[in-house]
Amino acid sequence: AFDGAPEPHGHAAILLIESVPHTLIARGVITIHDAVEAVETAADVKNEIGSEMGDTQATLAASLAILKSMSASLSIDVQPLD
């Protein structure tokens, strides 16, 4: 049963996944825009298939909030294109 406490495996997994695009950006493998686009694509897919996968509205909303937070974290570094 879920007791509301943070789940350490989930936190570790999110930290790892959040670090991958930052590492790839730092190494010049992808751009910040590429990373933001990937997170936005993940959010779009989650939104489309969440209910099909049995997500409750609360679970879907929480998942989308995490992805939005990741996108915002990456977007802070985006410089306007001329």
Question: How far apart (Å, rounded) are the C-alpha atoms in residues 26 and 1?
Answer: 40
Q: What angle do CA 16, 53, 7 make, to 5 degrees?
A: 35
The total of other beta-carbon atoms located within 10 Å of residue 70's CB is 21
Q: Mean pLDDT throughout 8-17? A: 90
Tokens 């190494």, residue located: 27
Q: Check: pTM over 0.85? Answer yes or no.
A: no
- Over residues 44-82, the pLDDT tens digits come to 999 999 989 999 999 999 999 999 999 998 887 665 554
